[in-house]
Amino acid sequence: MVNLSLGHQFSGPTDPAADAHWPDVRERKGFFTDTSICIGCKACEVACKEWNHNPRDGDLELTAMSYDNTVSLGASTWRHVAFVEQDKERIEVARESGRRLVSLGMPSVRRPQDDAPPGPGASADATGTTDGAPTAYGNVDTTPPDTPEFRWLMASDVCKHCTHAGCLDVCPTGALMRTEFGTVVVQDDVCNGCGTCVAGCPFGVVERRSDGTAAPTTREGERKGEQPDVPKRGVAQKCTLCYDRLLDDETPACAKTCPTTSIKFGDHDDLVTDARERVAQLHAQGMTEARLYGANELDGVGGTGALFLLLDEPEVYGLPPDPRVCTADLPEMAKRAAIATGGMLAAAALAFLGGRR
């Protein structure tokens, strides 16, 4: 489209707030959600709803699929705690996929079973047996053992506040904007609800707020079958990383309320450092399934503002395994569209020149 020097405006590592020409760029803020210590209490969901006055999503239905009745992020749900129960077989698969990740061009992280003190997880996965393995009896280890039979994965998902945010790039009104903290926020008085951002988000986060039900309920009220008042209807809504609280040097509601510090808030660079330390620590304990999500500024979205420590493949938590900001390919799309336009013009010209006979 434009062959100007765009630097890393479309993809690659960059400072998003500086790219947005903020005169006073603040330190980039973000979350680090360490799912290894999430207990699935959903306090973050509640705190988020309370602080942001987000209305009820849906009609208080139970999903009957797990303890997760929130299901997904959406216009009125800006924190979502995923809940997954896994059996022994699936744990082994997760361990193995994490181990492959460690050995994949990451030479500085050694395979934990090579030299790490044998933790409970390491002994279990090294032998492939669950309990009664001879090695487990050989060492007296007082660490509480990882449950080898099954595990529960709990993870509080949130808007990623991408370095290259597809939602923001494709927004036609400028309603989505980059803040001085490097986060992405919808200005609800500007948004006209075109819905392009919904398609633009590779994580399925932002959504246009309807009245929150599949079939609009007409009765007003707070009980089942009734519809509470829905503010900001018809415009795109998503996590703001509590922009209002940030401006007052306050911690976002979810991080503030998290009882296990699974949700950590802070300067983005510090969080990346903390996340790397934490994953190394887990690897040393033999939890090769631990991995970071969003900490790599070379990934398809230029790294995310909200990082995660996961214990399995991202798609197990409903996260895309290889997201790519759509705008990265926009120059090519524009070029192809220009060629196509030229072809259409040529065809029309040919039609008239040939048709003069």
Q: Which residues are annotated as a binding site?
A: 38, 41, 44, 48, 159, 162, 167, 171, 191, 194, 197, 201, 239, 242, 254, 258
Which residue among 193, 211, 217, 230 contacts other proteins (CB under 8 A)? 193
Closer by beta carbon to other proteins, 82 or else 241: 82
256 near other proteins, rule: CB under 8 A: no
Which residue of 46, 116, 133, 280 would you call a contact of other proteins, by CB under 8 A? 280
Size of the site for other proteins (CB under 8 A): 115
> What does the H/E/C string look like for the chain?
CCCCCCCCCCCCCCCHHHHCCCCCCCCCEEEEEEHHHCCCCCHHHHHHHHHHCCCCCCCCCCCCCCCCCCCCCECCECEEEEEEEEEHHHHHHHHHHHHHHHHCCCCCCCCHHHHCCCCHHHHHHHHCCCCCCHHHHHCCCCCCCCCCCEEEEEEEEECCCECCCHHHHHCCCCCEEECCCCCEEECCCCCCCCCHHHHHCCCCCCEECCCCCCCCCCCECCCCCCECCCCCCCCEECCCCCHHHHHCCCCCHHHHHCCCCCEEEEEHHHHHHHHHHHHHHHHHCCCCCCEEECCCCCCCCCCECEEEEECCCHHHHCCCCCCCCHHHHHHHHHHHHHHHHHHHHHHHHHHHHHCCC
Residue 128: which residues within 8 A CB-CB, separation 6 or more?
92
- 173 is an interface residue for other proteins by CB under 8 A: yes
Which residues lie across from 259 on neighbouring strands? Answer: none
Residues flagged as binding site for [4Fe-4S] cluster = 38, 41, 44, 48, 159, 162, 167, 171, 191, 194, 197, 201, 239, 242, 254, 258
Check binding of 65 to other proteins (CB under 8 A). yes
The contact mask relative to other proteins for 330-349 (x = CB under 8 A, - = no) is x-xxx-xxxxxxxxxx-xxx
* Binding track, positions 108-147, relative to other proteins; x by CB under 8 A: xx--------------------------------------
**Among the listed residues 17, 124, 279, 311, the single contact to other proteins using CB under 8 A:** 279
294: tokens are 């969003």
Pairing outcome for strands 236-237 and 184-186? unpaired
The answer to the question of residue 159 lying near other proteins (CB under 8 A) is no
* Closest CB to other proteins among residues 175, 253: 175
- Interface residue with other proteins among 150, 222, 244, 260 (CB under 8 A) is 150
Considering the complex, what minimum distance in angstroms separates the CB of residue 250 from other proteins?
29
By CB under 8 A, which span of 134-142, 202-210, 216-224, 262-270 interacts with other proteins?
Answer: 202-210
**Nearer to other proteins (CB atom), residue 44 or residue 319:** 319
Please check whether residue 272 is in contact with residue 28, taking contact to mean a CB–CB distance below 8 angstroms.
Answer: no
Select the residue interacting with other proteins from 43, 253, 299, 306 (CB under 8 A).
299
233 binds other proteins (CB under 8 A): yes
93 binds other proteins (CB under 8 A): yes
Positive/negative CA dihedral, 213, 317, 30, 193: negative
Residue 207 found at the interface with other proteins (CB under 8 A): yes
- Judged by CB under 8 A, which of 62, 104, 140, 215 binds other proteins? 104
Shortest distance, position 134 Cβ to other proteins, whole Å: 26
CB of 79 to other proteins, least distance (A): 15
Min dist. Cβ of residue 182 to other proteins (A): 17
List 3, 21, 106, 216, residue binding other proteins (CB under 8 A): 106
